[in-house]
A and B are shown apart, each in its own frame.
Chain A
Amino acid sequence: MAGEPFIAPIGVMLASPVTIWILAAVFAVVAGAALVIAGLSLTGAAAPAMRRELRLRLLSWCWLLPLMFGPVLAGRVWTIAAVTALGLLCFREYARATGLFRDWVIIGAVLLGVLAVNFAVLDHWYGFFVALWPLTVGVIAIASIPVDRPAGYIQRSALGVFGYMLFGAGLAHLGYMANDPGYRPILLMLMATVALSDVAAFTFGKLIGGPKLLPATSPNKSVAGALGALATTTAVVAFLAAAVFQGTNMDKPHWLVCFGLIVGIAAQAGDLMLSSIKRDIGIKDMGVTLPGHGGVLDRFNSLLLVAPAAFHFIGYFVGFGLQQPTRLITGG
């Protein structure tokens, strides 16, 4: 907003108790994980390969968490910049994995769309933000026609539209939330609970076992893991949302549970969506950016579908930045 400080003062960063809870919980989990891994190493309980894998993952988290939480705490512009960078990194991995990166015209059209939609977010211009979805699809559809190479037209246009939907229009909803002064606990809640969903699915799956969920799509996921993760995520999201949305129209038990279910289902759906993409192409990971995790997309897949779903559910009851000035850049 006009006159916003370069980095928000600490009092603004931690204005909501939910922000403090989440930061404390995440810190505790990382510290606990470090202790467990240290214990495993000292007692030699787990296989060396497993220990190495766990250590790599923890190390990645140690620099990834500040990169994720830092911009959200720092302020609106930082958050939007981080979401833009995340969208570009994810799109790059997607384009290289699907082979779309060879179609420079489509890549250019999608990049233009991703930058434009995040500009609309920064400008706080909801009309343009929404309009960019059909407009960018139009640009992608037109972009490769002048090349006069109809072979593969549907494939490259569809891959472009899908990419823009996921990493441009979809992900930009996360940035748009930052136009509301109370965005910090909401974004932290979504990022933390989506990660929790992954961990819970893994843990319940290992503890209970049982039938596989979708063996052809993702051989390591079990029904027990999926249900356990959904129950955990729903409960935690509902609990945190009750504190964040206290006194609003959303503050009813059934709506809070509904919100939790939406986040929980969308998180797992995002994960399965990326699994389907990888299986279709025939690759294991999208990249090697994050040791122990794979590519950036392997880490952030669960957030892709959560972003628009959570945005519009909250938007229905509460809205984002409705009291804030709009068209900050284009408004003159």
Chain B
Amino acid sequence: MMDWQLKPARDLGLSGRDRLRSLSREPGLPAAAIAFLWRRLLRGYLALFHGLRVSGVEHLPPPPFVLIANHASHLDALTLSAVLRGAAARRAFVLAAGDTFFTSLPMAAFAAHAINALPIWRRRTRSSDLTTLRMRLLEDRLVLVLFPEGTRSRDGAIARFQPGIGALIAGTAVPVVPCWIEGAFAAWPAQRRLPRPGPLSLRIGAPLRFETAENGRAGWETVATACEAAVGDLAPGA
């Protein structure tokens, strides 16, 4: 008798509407094809209108890993998801604010299909949500793109990192890759409705590991502080 590994989709039994907002969403071939086309389009746009320059690509480890950066613009998530290649690009999910991207259905459909976004509900994130993400990061060998400041900076300056990043990876072997994005605030600050052309550059730093960090409040704070320092160190003139 053979025992096969029949593993149904994690989001099996959810309606299309619920799937969009589910942290268990697993894209199939059609969704992957849409995301692939979107990525191509995005790379073209970033090269053409923002002359995107990237340094430190060699620091990107094989999946799973967590990609973090300073956050001052909607261009940030687009930039980070556009630079990933191969398996990392296919397995990348962007953690996006639920109240901004997942309240209206067309926006949720766009966020889910194009950028492969997963919703994080600010100030009402349940611990079970973080447990789900932590489990999927390890089991599905995902790449999670997230902004530990929790919101876009309104003046371009980096803010305190929230401890949520620690809850995802403290005590695991999953590396965190710090990045600095320069120019996004000038091109598309939170106050503007649409972006304007302007130079963008992305600096990718060496991965950080928190295998020995305690998976608890104190450990999470330590992780957040270390990540904040690593991202800050990549800033020009730091």
Interface residues of A (CB under 8 A from B): 92, 95-99, 101-102, 104, 107-108, 111, 152, 155, 280-281, 283, 285, 287-288
Q: Which among B12, B14, B15, B26 is the interface contact of A97 at CB below 8 angstroms?
A: B12
CB-defined contacts of A101 to chain B, threshold 8 Å: 9, 26, 28-29
Residue pair A287, B26 in contact (C-beta under 8 Å): no
B53 to chain A, nearest CB (A): 32
A40 to chain B, nearest CB (A): 27
CB-defined contacts of A98 to chain B, threshold 8 Å: 6, 8
Q: A96-B8, A288-B14 are in contact. List 19 more A-B contacts (CB 8 A).
A: A95-B28, A96-B28, A97-B12, A98-B6, A98-B8, A99-B8, A101-B9, A101-B28, A102-B26, A104-B29, A152-B5, A155-B5, A281-B8, A283-B8, A283-B12, A285-B13, A287-B12, A288-B13, A288-B15
List CB contacts (< 8 Å) of B190-224 with chain A: none
B78 on interface, CB distance cutoff 8 Å: no
Q: How many residues of B contact A (CB 8 A)?
A: 14
Residue pair B28, A92 in contact (C-beta under 8 Å): yes
Interface centre among A102, A108, A111, A283 (most CB of B within 10 A): A102
CB-defined contacts of A108 to chain B, threshold 8 Å: 29
A295 to chain B, nearest CB (A): 9
A119 to chain B, nearest CB (A): 19
Interface centre among B9, B12, B26 (most CB of A within 10 A): B12
CB-defined contacts of B42 to chain A, threshold 8 Å: none
CB-defined contacts of B7 to chain A, threshold 8 Å: 99, 102
List CB contacts (< 8 Å) of B48-90 with chain A: none
Residue pair B28, A107 in contact (C-beta under 8 Å): yes
The CA of A285 and the CA of B29, in the complex, are separated in Å by: 22
Chain B residue at minimal CB-CB distance from A278? B8
Chain B residue at minimal CB-CB distance from A158? B4
Sample (19) of A-B pairs whose CB atoms are under 8 Å apart: A95-B28, A96-B8, A96-B9, A96-B12, A97-B8, A97-B12, A98-B6, A99-B5, A99-B8, A102-B7, A104-B29, A107-B28, A152-B5, A155-B4, A281-B8, A283-B8, A283-B12, A287-B12, A288-B14
